[in-house]
Amino acid sequence: MPAPAGSALEARLTRAWLRRGPLACALWPVSLLFRALSGVRAALFRAGVLQSTRLPVPVVVVGNIFIGGTGKTPLTIWLVQALQAAGLRPGVISRGHGSKDTAPRLVDGHATAAQVGDEPLLIWQRCACPVMVGRDRAATGQALLALHPEINILLTDDGLQHYALQRDVEIILFDGRGAGNGWLLPAGPLREPVSRRRDVTVINAPQLSSGLLASVGASHGEAQPGTGLPEATYQMVLAGDYAEQLCDRQQRTTLAELAARPALRIAAAAGIGNPARFFGMLKAAGLQVQELPLPDHHDFLDRPFAALEADLILMTEKDAVKCAQIEELRDDPRLWVVPVSARIDAALAAQIVEKCRGRSFA
């Protein structure tokens, strides 16, 4: 089954951004203008010409400068759970991709992915913490704190370039693509230069080479004990060991058990920023799958599985939150969800708490 046109175009652009080929070189002058404008905007916020809001609790931004998906949602889920384990009471704010609401909206059991976005809904389901979406992140944070005054640290899923909200910790996340060709939009994949300041660098990749570290600007500084990585740099690995049937989440099988059944026709669908990462994880588990890459935040109303000849279709949790709200899909016994968890050095959570120590945890 061919990939949808949107996904194919996205993949073509991403490939162009990984090298300095003819298309990237032709767009390079435009990227200089983009860099100048974004730099001026950031400078105006730093100088106080453009106003920003400081909330009464520490704010941690999880974001990226590489356009598209690098794994922010799994990292946010890991951070929430790690901070909860440390005795803190985190809340999460997000733009809520696809939400048409401009005012802040609380994520709860009645919310749909169309109303609040697939990622905030997934975070709420996995973490059982207060989550709110809204276009203005400062106003959204204020609204969430008003409803949940017990929150004493706030995470914002994405929003690195949303300077109207002041932050205490900035985490920049990259994946195995590094910084691509190193150029800003539209000649490359970057929203801001690699030289942009950050408190923490996280790289979502199974192997970290010196070239990858240098690409993302994380090759300097003293090595952290026991990791060999430069200071304030952490490796994140996404892992999934089992699958659950969408129509009955009590039905579970391991990926190893599926790999031991070569006669089973297995497809894999992924409507995330980098579908290849999900497919690669399944292949690493020994599965041979028919790949169906979909555009990020795909809504599944076009019934992409109708003509798919497969005994079993594996999907990400982010896609599952939408499919579970479509009657035809949530009852399809072929659909199975692969929960994925981030694995990171626990020292990251301790470092965030330490960086926020100068501010009072309410």
pLDDT in tens, 108-128: 999 998 899 999 999 999 999
pLDDT digits (tens, 9 = 90+) for 230-284: 778 999 999 999 999 999 999 999 999 999 999 999 999 999 988 999 999 999 9
* pLDDT in the model for residue 1: 52
Q: Mind listing the pLDDT tens digit for each residue in 146-159? A: 999 999 999 999 88
- CA-based nearest residue to 156, from 114, 109, 104: 104
Which CA distances in Å does 88 have to 61, 84, 123, 158, 290?
A: 17, 5, 17, 21, 43
**pLDDT at position 96:** 87
Q: What CATH number does domain 59-238+343-356 carry, 3.40.718.10, 3.40.50.300, 1.10.375.10, 3.80.30.20?
A: 3.40.50.300
- Per-residue pLDDT tens digits for 162-202: 999 999 999 999 999 999 999 999 999 999 999 999 999 99
pLDDT at 274: 87
Q: Summarize the annotated binding site as residue ranges.
A: 66-73
Identify any residues that bridge with 190 across adjacent strands, giving them in sequence order.
66, 184
Q: Which residue positions form the known binding site for ATP?
A: 66-73
CB 57 within 8 A of CB 181: no
**Which of 220-229, 240-249, 331-340 comes out lowest in average pLDDT?**
220-229
Condensed to tens digits (0 to 9), the pLDDT of residues 197-212 reads 999 999 999 999 999 9
Contact, 152 vs 124, CB < 8 A?
no
CA distances for 18 relative to 96, 183, 202, 288, angstroms: 28, 9, 19, 27
Average pLDDT for residues 90-103, to the nearest whole number? 86
pLDDT(100) > 90 = no
- Which pLDDT value is given to residue 213? 93
